[in-house]
Amino acid sequence: MENIFKDWGVLRIIRLLMGIYIIVESVREHQILLGLLGGFFLYQAIMNTGCTMEACEVKPKHYTRNSNSETVDFEEIK
């Protein structure tokens, strides 16, 4: 079985733990808005979204630049 947490960083794990903790506390205290906040943290952790430092988007694992791209010539229109 492949390790499902191998691409997880520290901030992603913190968001997961915060989300779980906030949801548990919201159920205990019967607070709907607090539960929505916990759900938001869980969503960020599971989908790997959020704007913390350079993590505003999910980056592809391997990015290769296409070296066969054509150059575009522009003409000035007067």
Question: At how many degrees (to 10) do helices 32-47 and 10-29 cross?
Answer: 160
Q: In whole angstroms, what is the distance from residue 23 CA to residue 20 CA?
A: 5
- Tell me: pLDDT of 56 over 60: no
Instruction: Tell me the two tokens of residue 69.
Output: 């791209």
pLDDT of residue 57 exceeding 60, the answer is no
* Amino acid 4: pLDDT: 66
Mean pLDDT, all residues of the chain: 79
Encoded tokens for 33: 């808005």
27, 35 contact by CB (below 8 A): yes
Q: What is the mean pLDDT of residues 15-25?
A: 94
